[in-house]
């Protein structure tokens, strides 16, 4: 193995370690974080954790008592969804600071990312990396 190839591997390993530490810090920072969303009419307030799990539902006023059940139900679903979207956006924002720019963070968080396609793209880019062996030399 040539010295330059060895140095490239060492540099890549150091970058990987830094990335892992940064991701661990984001996970630590998000561990106790909560997000609160309040309905437009201020009838319902929902608290979720960083993963969007509902922790609490509050009714700051007594207005919910006079609401028809379907209306209250729709308001709860809407407010829970709003809180979860805020949690996902906040998590994506924090991870975007430590992951490569092209990483589909929101897709990864909501489960719609095509991991197989992401890996194929990484493999396609490998020959373009400085010091990487060309695909012709096995």
Structural domain includes residue 9: no
Q: CA nearest 35: which of 58, 52, 15, 10?
A: 52
Is 1 among the domain residues?
no
Residue from 29, 32, 45, 38 nearest 93 by CA: 29
Q: Number of helices (H) and strands (E) in the chain: give both, helices first.
A: 4, 3
pLDDT band at 14 (very low <50, low <70, confident <90, very high): confident
pLDDT in tens, 16-73: 788 788 878 888 888 889 999 999 999 999 999 988 999 999 999 999 999 999 999 9
The whole domain housing 84 covers 32-128
CATH number at residue 36: 3.30.1310.10
Q: What is the pTM of this model?
A: 0.66
Measured from the Cβ of residue 35, the count of other Cβ atoms closer than 10 Å reads 21
Give the number of domains in the chain: 1
The answer to whether position 27 is within a domain reads no
Q: With respect to residue 43, please indicate whether it lies within any of the assigned structural domains.
A: yes
73 falls within a domain = yes
Give the torsion sign (CA, 109, 115, 117, 119): positive
The reply to whether 113 falls in a domain is yes
């Amino acid at each position: 193995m040539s010295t330059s190839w060895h140095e490239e591997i060492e540099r890549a390993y150091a970058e990987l370690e830094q990335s892992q530490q940064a991701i661990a810090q984001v996970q630590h920072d998000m561990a106790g974080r909560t997000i609160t969303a309040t309905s437009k009419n201020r009838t319902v307030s929902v608290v979720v954790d960083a993963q969007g799990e509902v922790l609490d539902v509050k009714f700051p006023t007594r207005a919910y008592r006079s609401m028809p059940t379907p209306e209250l139900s729709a308001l709860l679903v809407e407010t829970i969804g709003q809180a979860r979207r805020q949690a996902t956006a906040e998590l994506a924002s924090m991870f975007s600071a430590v992951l490569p720019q092209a990483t589909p963070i929101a897709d990864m968080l909501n489960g719609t990312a095509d991991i197989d396609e992401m890996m194929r793209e990484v493999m396609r880019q490998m020959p373009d990396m400085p010091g990487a062996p060309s695909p012709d030399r096995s």
